[in-house]
Chains A and B, each alone.
Chain A
Amino acid sequence: MSGGAKLNVRVAEVVPVNELITRFRFVASDGADLPAFSGGAHTVVEMDDNGTRRLNPYSLMSSPTDRSGYEISVRRDDVGRGGSLFMHQHVTPGMEMTLSYPVNLFALDNRAKKHLMIAGGIGITPFLAQIAQLTHYGGKFELHYSARSKGLGAYMDRLTAAHPGKVHCYFDDQSQQIDLGRLLSMQPIGTHLYVCGPKGMIKWVLTTAEAMGWPRQTLHHEEFTAPGTGKAFTVELAASGKTITVGTTQSLLEAMEAAGVDAPYLCRGGACGQCETTVHKCDGTILHRDHWLTPEEHAAGSKIMPCVSRFEGKTLVIDR
């Protein structure tokens, strides 16, 4: 089955955290324990938005030691495709929903002598689970967390109270910024760095660290790309013999699923590689939006990641 094993859950709590972020707690529909997971894992939430099937990945933020429920935090995106709006406007306690088994594309390196975490905004969520994991199983960490303002700094109070001295907060509206150069120059050998947040922040942290001689293998980041919108386009599916049209707010993967084609996927955010598909013919331009294929593969145009990438042009034939 595409997307792997599924979990039937019930919404147990819906808690507004601030003006943009709402937290959801899910428990197993049958009352049993949910599978354990590792800090940094995400789940794909399936939504039935008035007939449109939406599947969005969200980092699990609850403690990996708590199998009684999973928690996620969703930031409302008023100009997105509608997944976060659906979560905010239509998901209520008691609702039955379907989640994927947890998948981790942002795991801690357990050999690290120290874990240095840098979070921006909603990018805090995987770190909440990782910090719970390190607190329980042992492991040295330090978190640097920036938000637009105090009001938007979700879970800052909880973190600073639980881990005084290890959590450092920064606020854009007070013109505070992490002194990255100093921070990165002070870390003991064997430190691993983790960053999750806005694209610009991830790039700033990774390029600074690399320029200072940090090996790539010690740098970890997580970035889910929302599929995004674009012009409608037509695709021929060679294996199933169908021709489908991908709508402006639909992803190619979603369009295939809507046409009854069972295509593989895991993260639906261009990160995991599961949905990689061979391109048989391309007369036009593939708009690659994934983090999986290499720049060379993007240029060659012989593969596409249907969960996020789109197409503009005359003919696209893919192997599905």
Chain B
Amino acid sequence: MSLDFKPGAFNDFFRNETFREDFTYRNSPAAIQRFPFPFDRDDYMYSVNMEPHVPGRKGSVFEHLLDVDEHYVSEMIDRARVLAEDPLRCQSLPHMTLAGWDTLELVMEAKARDYPQWFSLKKTGDRWHWINRPLGIEQSFTFLDEATLPCGPFEYIMRQTQGDWTLQDERDNTLWMDAGIATSQADWSADFDIGMNFHEWHAPVPLAHEKGIFDRALKFLLKLQHGAPVRRFNWTMTVNPLLDTSPENYPKWGPTKTSLTQGNLGGKQHLRVELQTLYRLPRSNAIAFDIRCYLGKFEELVTMPKWGRRLHRVVRDIHPDLAAYKGFLRNREAMVEWLSHYDDGLPTTPGWWPED
């Protein structure tokens, strides 16, 4: 499947921008205001930090179950390009088809409910009619019949959904990542990790195993119930607004880490925030894991004084093993220096909202 939609939908809301080559991606002032800044205090260490994924403040990225923002159309174009170059980025083991249908239903129902101006879903028994106006897609199909979609249900809906997703099958008291799509990932390979269990795919993460973080997180997730999704934040750093920081393409993007100067750092260095949400799926009993990526330039983030102060302190004080794992150890000093100009030493208020 190639580019199957006709994105004529760039308008006052959806931005026409790129995540490669000329990198024209940026956040509008409104998008900066609602950026999911992940630090609720001035330091950072791993924690399970899960909370119920319930609707949050109006206008925030939590307002709806799935956030559709100004980058939606451009992100979907970038995803289609990545998949055209490397189809291994989206895989579903044979027993995960039902979980793929569950995911398709979750996304379609949520988008049609929360964004009726853009999406519509009409059901007549198992005959479904789906309209995605921003991407110019209209599709009639039979729910649970793969032969009525142009590709498998998981890939079909993922080509219309922001965020990398993995689907976990539950067996033997652990979770198995048996399907997934990764085109905006923070340096992990879906192709390599598919088929692994919870502890295996987290194996390369330093420090957290020793702290029992993953044991506790797994115990929590195994009790995740349908109808009660949860969320947490994760974050890393990326040079340039590059969504596809895959290990596959590491030789292509790795050298950009050496391109930072104090002059260009504010525009090139991005805080990469992952809003991770987890859903128990009803028919398959699998768990869907959505890793939604938000990119914010340093120069955009420091327009919020509280965030400028805090980001400086977090980057300055983070454990070096974590900085190395997150891939920014070599640029950490330069980042601290650049950020220090936005930290006047005043105390910050708890919580992540910019105005508090």
A contacting B, Cβ–Cβ less than 8 Å? yes
Footprint of B on A, CB under 8 Å?
Answer: 4-5, 35-38, 40-41, 64-65, 101-104, 107, 109-111, 133, 136-137, 217, 266, 272-274
Q: Judge if B95 is at the interface, Cβ distance under 8 Å.
A: yes
In the assembled complex, which residues on chain A have CB atoms less than 8 Å from the CB atom of B227? 4-5, 35, 101
A109 pairs with B223, CB closer than 8 A: no
Which A residues are CB-close (under 8 A) to B284? 38, 110
30 contacts between A and B (CB under 8 A): A4-B225, A4-B227, A5-B225, A5-B226, A5-B227, A35-B227, A35-B282, A36-B282, A36-B283, A37-B282, A37-B283, A38-B283, A40-B285, A41-B285, A101-B227, A102-B282, A103-B226, A104-B285, A109-B171, A110-B96, A110-B284, A111-B95, A111-B169, A136-B144, A137-B144, A217-B172, A266-B223, A266-B225, A273-B223, A274-B223
B228 touches A137 (CB 8 A): no
B42 at the interface (CB under 8 A from A): no
List chain A residues, Cβ under 8 A from B102. Answer: 36
Assess the A38–B171 pair: CB atoms within 8 A: no
Within 8 A of A (CB), among B87-121: 94-96, 98, 102, 105
Q: Does more than half of chain A's interface fall in helix, strand or loop, or is it mixed?
A: loop
Q: Are B282 and A103 in contact (CB under 8 A)?
A: no
Interface residues, chain B, with chain A CB atoms under 8 Å away: 94-96, 98, 102, 105, 144, 169-172, 219, 223, 225-228, 282-285
CA distance A273 to B219 in the complex (A): 9
CA gap between A41 and B172 in the complex, in Å: 17
Contact present for A38 and B282 (CB under 8 Å): yes
Which of B96, B223, B283 meets A64, CB within 8 Å?
Answer: B283
Closest 5 CB pairs of A and B: A5-B227, A110-B95, A36-B282, A38-B285, A4-B225
State A104–B224 Cα separation when bound (angstroms).
11
- Report the separation of the CA atoms of residues A36 and B282 in the bound assembly, to the nearest whole angstrom: 5
B200: min CB distance to chain A, Å: 16
Task: Report yes or no: A101 in contact with B144, Cβ–Cβ below 8 A.
Answer: no
CB distance from A208 to the nearest CB of B (A): 21
- Given A38-B284, A109-B171, A217-B172; A103-B95 close (CB under 8 Å): no
Tell me, in angstroms, the Cα distance from A217 to B172 when the chains sit together: 6
A35 proximity list for chain B (CB < 8 A): 226-227, 282
Chain A residue, CB-CB nearest to B178: A111
Chain A residues whose CB sits within 8 angstroms of the CB of B170 once the complex forms: 107
Query: A273: which B residues are within 8 A, CB to CB?
Result: 219, 223
- Report B-chain residues with C-beta under 8 Å of the C-beta of A65: 144
Q: In the complex, are the beta carbons of B228 and A5 less than 8 A apart?
A: yes
A282 to B8 alpha-carbon distance, docked (Å): 70
Query: Nearest A residue to B102 by beta-carbon distance?
Result: A36
Question: Cα distance A315–B120 when bound, in Å?
Answer: 61
Q: Give the residue of B95, B98, B105, B225 whose beta carbon is less than 8 angstroms from that of A101.
A: B225
Shortest distance in angstroms between B226's beta carbon and chain A's nearest beta carbon? Answer: 5
